[in-house]
Amino acid sequence: MEFNFEDFPEDAIVLDGLDEAIIGITEEFGGNGRILYSREKILDILQKRDGMTEEESVEFYYFNIVGLFASESNPIFLVTDKF
Over the stretch 50-74, which tens digit does the pLDDT of each residue have? 999 999 999 999 999 999 888 888 9
- Asked if residues 12 and 73 have their Cβ atoms less than 8 Å apart, the reply is yes
Residue 43 lies in a domain: yes
Q: How confident is the model over 16-61, as pLDDT tens digits?
A: 999 999 999 888 887 778 999 999 999 999 999 999 999 999 999 9
Residue 33 lies in a domain: yes
Instruction: Check pLDDT > 70 for residue 3.
Output: no
Q: How many domains does the chain have?
A: 1
pLDDT at 77: 96
Helix or strand holding residue 57 (H, E): helix 54-60
Domain with 30, as residue range(s), is: 5-78
pLDDT at 15: 93
Which residues are CB-neighbours of 31 under 8 A, at least 6 positions away?
72
Residue 69 lies in a domain: yes
Residue 83 lies in a domain: no
pLDDT at 50: 97
